[in-house]
Structure 1
Amino acid sequence: MSSQQRIVGGELLVSTHPDGAGFFDQSVVLLLESDDDGVIGVALNKPSPMPVAQVLPDWESQLNPPQVLFAGGPVLPNGALCLAKVLDPGEDPLGWRRIVGDIGVLHLDTPVELAAGAFSDVRVFAGYCGWEAGQLVEEIRHGAWLRTTPREEEIFGADTEDLWRRVLRRLGGQAALLSAFTASPELN
């Protein structure tokens, strides 16, 4: 695999499927880890209607808006995963593993009282996206995904509804054209 194809945690994937790809329609996925066994990530723009307070009431006060569970992906949708940004970039708080910059995965079995005050942004995801070894490289090669570096507001921003379109416009060129997709062809 060339360095151009090497996939690393911290990258942002943007689906080129505006419609017809199921869960991955208009998905924006933050990659959390990549190794010889495969790649995992979470969809950043799939908020669910379920308040976090219904399943993890102790964590509700730690979350930034919207305080709902996000559908992180189709793998293990009954499991929860948490992204958090540390307040002090020089620290690695208990239960937290760095992914990119000051953002990492926070284990939800970490006592809330230890997490309180250590993070500026916290978001909880139900499930995750997963690819077997080589699978994501093939999907990228076939044009299913665009890759970019994430911006912090894309990871923790409250406005997730048009995140797919905003990231595509930021990428420019053909990607920006795709951002104008509408499900009603007569509006194109």
Structure 2
Amino acid sequence: MEKEFQDLFQIRHNDDRVEVGKVLIAEPFLEGKYFNRSVVYMVEHDPSGSVGFVLNKPLPYTTSELVKELEGVYFPVYIGGPVERNQLYYIHRRNDIPDSEEIAKGIYWGGDFKALTEMLKAGKVLEGEIRFFAGYSGWTDSQLENELQENSWMVGTIPTDTLFTIPNEGLWEQAMSSLGGRYKLWANFPEDPILN
């Protein structure tokens, strides 16, 4: 019984590999304001490195407050990660935004900002079709693989049809619980064990 308890918070590596369109789910005790209980959507992953955006850390500002060109457009903005925090990034479901890159079926990254601005101001892009991020999460060549070996992350998925509408509250718990088994217990473990 004691060995089982000690083993409870060891990640049992599954066959899921990091891929574009999948999510990284932080282990329960990963520290730091960017990655503590975060869910990171992966938009790039190859031998040279990886890029993703934290889905569940909203900023207390809207697009209108942060970007002069988007004045009057009040969409939420999330902390995408610690890299280039003064830059705005976006993923979306719109195949009509020029120069955007399809990263998963029906999911696009970036695109012509001027065209997007015009579409947003004309009300042609809805809040449930796009997510904005200040900064991104980046890893150099083998850095993410090392973090996976250190049990910092689990690899999971989020259905693409709910990617833009899932609530921030409880997203980490939901993503962790969806892995099943011991991870359902992890999802309910308090952030501060002293409060248990």
TM-score, scaled relative to structure 2:
0.78
Contact 1:72 1:126 in 2 (8 A): yes
1:176 equivalent in alignment to 2:184: yes
Q: CA deviation at 1:95?
A: 2.5
Letter in 1 for 2:48: D
* Change beyond 3 A, Cα 1:168–1:23: same
Say how many residue pairs are matched: 178
Letter in 2 for 1:113: E
Given candidates 52, 57, 60, the residue that maps to 2:63 is: 52
Q: CA deviation at 1:130?
A: 0.5
* Change beyond 3 A, Cα 1:6–1:147: closer
1:150 equivalent in alignment to 2:161: no
1:82 equivalent in alignment to 2:90: yes
1:39 equivalent in alignment to 2:50: yes
Percent of matched pairs sharing the same residue: 28
Given candidates 61, 79, 99, the residue that maps to 2:103 is: 99
Contact 2:99 2:111 in 1 (8 A): yes
Give the distance between the partners of 1:74 and 1:84, measured in 2 at CA: 21
Give the distance between the partners of 2:139 and 2:153, measured in 1 at CA: 13
Partner of 1:110: helix, strand, or coil? helix
Partner of 1:151: helix, strand, or coil? coil
* Change beyond 3 A, Cα 1:186–1:162: same
For the pair shown, the structure with the greater C-alpha radius of gyration is 2
Contact 1:81 1:107 in 2 (8 A): no
Give the distance between the partners of 1:177 and 1:5, measured in 2 at CA: 20
Give the root-mean-square deviation of aligned CA atoms: 2.5
* Change beyond 3 A, Cα 1:121–1:57: farther
Give the distance between the partners of 1:157 and 1:60, measured in 2 at CA: 23
1:127 equivalent in alignment to 2:138: no
Give the distance between the partners of 2:73 and 2:53, measured in 1 at CA: 19
Where structure 2 has 5 or more consecutive residues not aligned to the other structure, the ranges are 1-14
Deviations 1:1-59 (A, max 9, x none): xxx58532111110003453442100100010012220000000010001111123654
Q: CA deviation at 1:105?
A: 0.8
Contact 1:19 1:183 in 2 (8 A): no
Give the distance between the partners of 1:48 and 1:108, measured in 2 at CA: 24
Contact 1:81 1:108 in 2 (8 A): no
TM-score, scaled relative to structure 1:
0.81
Choose between structure 1 and 2: higher strand proportion.
1
Q: CA deviation at 1:121?
A: 0.3
Partner of 1:20: helix, strand, or coil? coil
* Change beyond 3 A, Cα 1:178–1:105: same
Where structure 1 has 5 or more consecutive residues not aligned to the other structure, the ranges are none
